Structure 1
Amino acid sequence: MSNSDEAQTVEESTPREYDPNAEHAFPDHRLNDVLDALLSDAEVTAYLRAQNVNAVERKGYNDHGAKHISIVRNRALRLYDLLKRGNVEFNGATQQGLDEADEPVIIALAATLHDIGHVVHRDDHAYYSIPLAADVLDRFLAQFYDIDNQVRVKAEVLHAILCHHTEEDPLTREAGVIRVADALDMERGRSRMPYEKGGRGINTLSSQAIRNVELKPGEDEDAPVLVDIEMVNAAGVYQVDSLLKAKLRNSLIEDYVRIVAINTKADDQLVERIEL
């Protein structure tokens, strides 16, 4: 097999973008309809542009706009698919009397709207996201659900949005997926942790140390998800331990996710491999 063929095989086995035409381990027809409307929604698009102003331009943090949202949504759906392939049961939609097809809808909506509170303030933004997302959902969900189910889907989306914040523990696995997916946007300096001024502190150095993050099927049937992290500096351990591990804790999916981080830089073997 040539190098290009091998690279293509790896990419196909670890997809980064949700493909509505691919085969999934969950009913995807409702998700595909919702996503099609969501990605072209003018108000949602405007929020994604506006929410970076406080975070990036005024506070000096890294991206929390459209690119971050796309990464989180795609990784959330990939994580959800791997968990479903591992026969992990989700409780949010079920306990609301909704269908299995509503689980990925809740996840996609929460991933898309979880950071819009940044338009108010970066600090405590998860709490500001709730009323703003509620207004968007009141309008948007009317295209797809009757009043009763609008309220139930809205409730689950808002719960997942709130619980992406580490101060609030998820009560559903849908919310846990959002919480963890938010932390998985950590490649090449894209960590959710803020940079220090001057760029020389541990948050900055460690975030730059993460080269690649991939979600793969786990080899252990009890842990159907493998998070494979490539580091190029031992400082990346700080990101894995202080950010990803913290988000995974109390997520309701921690028992099903295995994290392996490998330091691939030959002249820096202070930490070669860590496993959570």
Structure 2
Amino acid sequence: MNQTTRSCTKITVSDTDASSLYPSSYQDHIPEPDVRHSAGRRIEDHISSYPKASLAWELLIKVSHISVLWDMAAFTTTERLRMNDHGRIHAQVTAASALTILDLLCSSDIKPDIIKKGGDLDDAMLIVLVSALCHDIGNAIHRDSHLSHSMMLAQPILDMILPVIYPDPKTALLMSTVILSAIHSHHGDPKPLTIEGSIISVADASDMTKGRACHSTDISTASMHAISTLAIDDVIITRGLNRPVEIQILMSQLAGMFQIHETLIPKIHAGLLKEHINVYIPLQDQYIY
């Protein structure tokens, strides 16, 4: 009996160049490195005084294979579904915004839930950081049910990094459950049940500027969400006059209101921060929330 020997070629995926696997049409629309570096610097500024969060950031970026999931999530959403980017840049912009919101809340004595469970602010920083970085990796599998996919893909990442930071298995498990809860509820449905989860949901919706939109501006092919983001020039998260957090949305046209009313406002209302956030539109000189 003749036997056929099939040779196998080993494929190695580089964390720093996973996007090279995808078509040139996709690579042409990967956001510029300065966007990535800007978000990364903002993250590092927030966590520089927090050793546990800083170690989690280092492990995620340098050791884990999360970049492969980010690149595939971006490819799925922008190239296949013609949506806004949901990859590396979205994850890091969301993380930077989430850490800003956490800082503002804590400075107004609004405590994250992990502190009520015996943790500290460093633990809260880690939860918000890791949840934001992992919240949309499920898009690497499919947009449908991506909340569940994100939790599934995040679990082995958490199993890798958390025991390094938390030698006590019970503490590592507690941190994991709070992170997975935030990932699961980042769309606002199901409703976020923690302060940390509510922060992720709002920060996710805050990534809506025009540089982040679907690469096509053709109304016949781009989604309404992508078209709406083209009218939004910037989103600024700062301390409010009457509430701890004020989200200022700078836009050139009122078309940007679609994204705000369809995504941001419902996510604020769904979580636990509705009494702590205002939304201000300078174009109208009006608070809409």
- Tell me if both proteins adopt one fold, taking TM over 0.5 as the criterion: yes
Cα distance in 2, alignment partners of residues 82 and 219 from structure 1: 12
Is 1:46 equivalent to 2:46 in the alignment? Answer: no
Is 1:244 equivalent to 2:264 in the alignment? Answer: yes
Pair 216,21 (structure 1): closer, same or farther in 2 beyond 3 Å: closer
Pair 158,196 (structure 1): closer, same or farther in 2 beyond 3 Å: farther
Q: Secondary structure at the match of 1:249?
A: helix
TM-score of the superposed pair, with normalisation by structure 2: 0.78
Check conservation: 2:182, 2:197, Cα contact below 8 A: yes
Q: Deviations over 1:65-123 (max 9, x none)?
A: 111111001111011111111111221x1354433321110000100111111111012
- Aligned counterpart, 2:160: 139
Check conservation: 1:196, 1:203, Cα contact below 8 A: no
Q: CA deviation at 1:29?
A: 2.7
Is 1:112 equivalent to 2:133 in the alignment? Answer: yes
Q: What letter matches 1:275 in structure 2?
A: I
Q: What letter matches 1:211 in structure 2?
A: D
Is 1:253 equivalent to 2:270 in the alignment? Answer: no
Q: CA deviation at 1:189?
A: 5.3
Q: What letter matches 1:105 in structure 2?
A: L
Q: Secondary structure at the match of 1:60?
A: coil
Aligned CA RMSD, in angstroms, stands at 2.5
Cα distance in 2, alignment partners of residues 23 and 49 from structure 1: 24
- Aligned counterpart, 2:107: 85
Check conservation: 2:43, 2:99, Cα contact below 8 A: no
Equivalent residue in structure 1 for 2:254, among 212, 228, 234: 234
Q: CA deviation at 1:21?
A: 5.4
Check conservation: 2:94, 2:132, Cα contact below 8 A: yes
Q: Secondary structure at the match of 1:235?
A: helix
Q: Secondary structure at the match of 2:203?
A: helix
Cα distance in 2, alignment partners of residues 102 and 204 from structure 1: 35
- Aligned counterpart, 2:122: 101
Q: CA deviation at 1:140?
A: 1.5
Is 1:225 equivalent to 2:242 in the alignment? Answer: no
Cα distance in 1, alignment partners of residues 253 and 67 from structure 2: 36
- Aligned counterpart, 1:10: none
TM-score of the superposed pair, with normalisation by structure 1: 0.82
Q: CA deviation at 1:198?
A: 2.1
- Aligned counterpart, 1:275: 288
Pair 147,241 (structure 1): closer, same or farther in 2 beyond 3 Å: same
Cα distance in 2, alignment partners of residues 190 and 22 from structure 1: 22
Q: Secondary structure at the match of 1:46?
A: helix
- Aligned counterpart, 1:170: 192
Pair 123,255 (structure 1): closer, same or farther in 2 beyond 3 Å: same
Check conservation: 1:96, 1:152, Cα contact below 8 A: no
Q: Secondary structure at the match of 1:215?
A: strand
Q: Secondary structure at the match of 2:153?
A: helix
Q: Deviations over 1:8-54 (max 9, x none)?
A: xxxxxxx9643645699xx6232122222222124122222222222
Is 1:155 equivalent to 2:168 in the alignment? Answer: no
Q: Deviations over 1:132-189 (max 9, x none)?
A: 1111111121211121111111000000000102321011000000000000100115
- Aligned counterpart, 2:142: 121
Q: Which runs of 5+ in 2 are unaligned?
A: 1-37
Cα distance in 1, alignment partners of residues 205 and 56 from structure 2: 24
Pair 97,108 (structure 1): closer, same or farther in 2 beyond 3 Å: same
Q: Secondary structure at the match of 2:270?
A: coil
Higher alpha-carbon Rg? 2
Is 1:64 equivalent to 2:92 in the alignment? Answer: no
Number of matched residues? 249
Cα distance in 1, alignment partners of residues 88 and 60 from structure 2: 13
Cα distance in 2, alignment partners of residues 241 and 250 from structure 1: 13
Cα distance in 2, alignment partners of residues 166 and 191 from structure 1: 21
Check conservation: 2:205, 2:264, Cα contact below 8 A: yes
